[in-house]
Amino acid sequence: MNAKVIDHPLIQHKLSLIRNIHTGTKEFRELLEEISMLMAFEITRDLPLEDVEIETPVAKCTCKMLSGKKLGIVPILRAGLGMTNGVVRLIPAVKVGHIGLYRDPQTLMPVEYYCKLPSDVAERDFILIDPMLATGNSLAASIDILKRKGAKNIKCMCLVASPEGIQLINNAHPDVDIFVAAIDEKLNDHGYIVPGLGDAGDRIFGTK
């Protein structure tokens, strides 16, 4: 299974606060941004480094810096926006694409309404961002879009996943690694993750 649970205590603590029905919009947003930053720290741990010569106030030395690998992040609208700033704060020069999808409540299938990606998709490694991986249909469709445009190296960053969603991505896109803060128990009859955190988009933007 290409799913890794990032079980750092700080992430787990903040996730529990986020799940709480009594956590309001302001706190929800702040916590989600903090968790995103912590998750991005782990997801980027294999970024390549190169040697550079640096002169400190004391001596010259050989140090490590990022080798300049081209990276892009792609939040899936709307809820993915809630995890974007945390990553951008960690990687300030990262290019940001957007894929707009909403899940039809009857069919649970994604409906695409927007797509704007960096022009050099084929040259970049991507992190797709969406807090909720429920049926997996939205994430699978987004991976399809990125691959059709030429992306070859895609990772996914989700806050909470269902076992069903992870299975679907593994079957459809076995080359794609998924990083999550938690794998919950199941989906309910309406395709919501149980226990989950409710509707992530509504909780981030205060629309319900």
Ligand X SMILES: O=P(O)(O)OC[C@H]1O[C@H](OP(=O)(O)OP(=O)(O)O)[C@H](O)[C@@H]1O
Ligand Y SMILES: O=c1cc[nH]c(=O)[nH]1
Chain CA centroid to CA 13, Å: 19
Q: By C-beta, is 70 or 133 nearer to ligand X?
A: 133
Q: What is the DSSP string of 138-182?
A: HHHHHHHHHHHTT--EEEEEEEEE-HHHHHHHHHH-TT-EEEEEE
Amino acid at 123: E
CA 126 to chain centre: 10
Chain residues 41-70 in contact with Mg ion, contact rule CB under 5 A: none
Window of 2-10, 57-65, 150-158, 199-207 that interacts with ligand Y by CB under 6 A: 199-207
Catalytic residue chosen out of the listed positions 7, 51, 89, 107: 107
115 near 99, Cβ under 8 Å?
Answer: yes
When CB distances to ligand X are compared, the closest residue is 201
Pick the piece of the chain touching Mg ion (CB under 5 A) from 123-131, 145-153, 188-196, 200-208: 200-208
Ranges within 9-68 binding ligand Y (CB under 6 A): none
Residues that bind ligand Y (CB under 6 A): 79, 132, 134, 191-193, 196, 199-201
Positions annotated as catalytic residues are 103, 107, 199, 202
